[in-house]
Amino acid sequence: MKLRKISLAIIGSLIILSSCSEDEDSAPVISVRDKAEVYEENIAEIEEYLSTHFYNYEEFNFDDIYGVDNDDFQIIFDTIAGVNSDKTPLIDQVEYKLVEYDDIEYKLYFLKVREGMGEDLHATDEAYLNYQGINLSSGETFDGTVNPIKLNLITIGTSTLGVVDGFRDGLVEFNAGYDHMDNGDGTFTYKNNGIGAIFVPSGIGYFSSGTSGLPAYTPMIFKIGLMEVIHTDFDLDNIDSYLEDFDGDGDPYNDDTDGDSLANFIDNDDDGDGVLTRDELDYDTHTYNPGLGDPEPTLQDDEYEIDREENGNGEITINTVILRDTNNDGTPDYLDDTIAVEVD
């Protein structure tokens, strides 16, 4: 959290310096609206939309949710009126979670058509997905993809730009696809992927800045198809970033073992003992051949996959990291400043 506070302080200083250097009569002062007031307006508009709109659920095969026919399902929203007067409104089909930012508790609605059979998505991960951003007020598209793209979910300083908070907080409710097929032309067809939509108040979106095609203070909808999860390792310590959010609250910035104001997921010496985290771990490899009927190796409780590679003969090698605990006190060496190995 401190990194973000520092960034905001710097930005604030630049704004003050800039405004002091201009003539007072040269430009009008633009006041930013109160976030709590805007949220009340936004949530009323979102809930009105959910009560008066439906999606094409009759085209989705709920008898075989993960059947191949549903893999290409595209959500279409429409108004409940006329021939559609008997449709089930979105408000009866969505879920919601409460998320807090700037002392405001936001209700974040999401429509989970299909959760996805693959890996869980975390706030520090990279998502490979299709998405469409829609202006909830006008129904017009302001952003989106034709083909799947990779998006970092979290912002780190100026080096890594993530997505808006509401999009990330809704997206982590979905899982990736479980399998994919190589089409032979550099593209893949994904199966069993997460499908849904997220309804985002502007306070956890673009708020006063807006963006192209989306005016300031406007709530938005994101339709998503989550294909794949890519675990990141921002500090290159061989511990995936999602594993360094120890309390699992979705905010990796509040996990700082050594109290050095660097969160563990961007700190390459997590316990501050002078030995790099990567040097306080053990490593292993597992090789198997699924074509010969070999089962995928079962990893021990404190062992995690780093990566895997195909060896060209049908064999797959999985490289893993093991959380060494030299004194068996339940705290891995890389988080225990009483244990420091000698490194050549």
Burial class of 265 by CB neighbour count within 10 A (0 to 12, 13 to 18, 19+): buried
Give the CA distances from residue 317 to residues 181, 245, 289, in Å, rounded to whole numbers and listed in that order. 20, 27, 9
- Amino acid present at 150: K
Domain ranges of the chain: 2-6+29-230
Q: What is the pLDDT of residues 53-98, one digit of tens each?
A: 999 999 999 999 999 999 999 999 999 999 999 999 999 999 999 9
Using CA atoms, how far apart are residues 70 and 339, in angstroms rounded to an integer?
A: 52
Look up residue 246 and give its two tokens. 């120890």
- For β-strands 104-114 and 194-200, DSSP reports them as antiparallel
Using CA atoms, how far apart are residues 299 and 68, in angstroms rounded to an integer?
A: 30
Nearest CA-CA partner of 213 in 110, 129, 147, 139: 139
CA 242-101-194 angle, 5° bins: 45
Phi, psi torsion values for 40, nearest 5 degrees: -60, -40
Dihedral (CA of 151, 152, 154, 160) sign:
negative
Q: Considering the entire predicted model, what is its pTM?
A: 0.85
Q: Which contiguous run of DSSP H or E holds residue 11?
A: helix 2-21
List CB contacts of 138: < 8 A, sequence separation 6 or more.
none
How does DSSP assign 33-85, residue by residue? PPHHHHHHHHHHHHHHHHHHEEE-GGGS-GGGTTSGGGTT----EEES-GGGT
Q: Does domain 2-6+29-230 have CATH number 3.40.50.150?
A: no
Using CA atoms, how far apart are residues 315 and 262, in angstroms rounded to an integer?
A: 40
Tens place of pLDDT per residue across the chain (344 aa): 222 333 333 334 433 333 334 444 555 556 899 999 999 999 999 999 999 999 999 999 999 999 999 999 999 999 999 999 999 999 999 999 999 999 999 999 999 999 999 999 999 999 999 999 999 999 999 999 988 999 999 999 888 889 999 999 999 999 999 877 667 776 677 789 999 999 999 999 999 999 999 999 999 999 999 999 999 999 999 999 999 998 888 899 999 999 999 999 999 999 999 999 999 999 999 999 998 999 999 999 999 999 999 888 889 999 999 999 999 999 999 999 987 665 55
Using CA atoms, how far apart are residues 81 and 76, in angstroms rounded to an integer?
A: 15
Distance between terminal CA atoms of the chain?
35
- The single-letter DSSP state of residue 310 is E
Using CA atoms, how far apart are residues 196 and 230, in angstroms rounded to an integer?
A: 19
Nearest CA-CA partner of 112 in 134, 96, 129: 96
Using CA atoms, how far apart are residues 224 and 75, in angstroms rounded to an integer?
A: 9
Q: What is the pLDDT of residues 85-137, one digit of tens each?
A: 999 999 999 999 999 999 999 999 999 999 999 999 999 999 999 999 999 99
Q: Which contiguous run of DSSP H or E holds residue 225?
A: strand 220-230
Nearest CA-CA partner of 321 in 340, 336, 308, 306: 306
Cβ atoms 208, 216 nearer than 8 A: yes
Nearest CA-CA partner of 285 in 254, 255, 309: 309
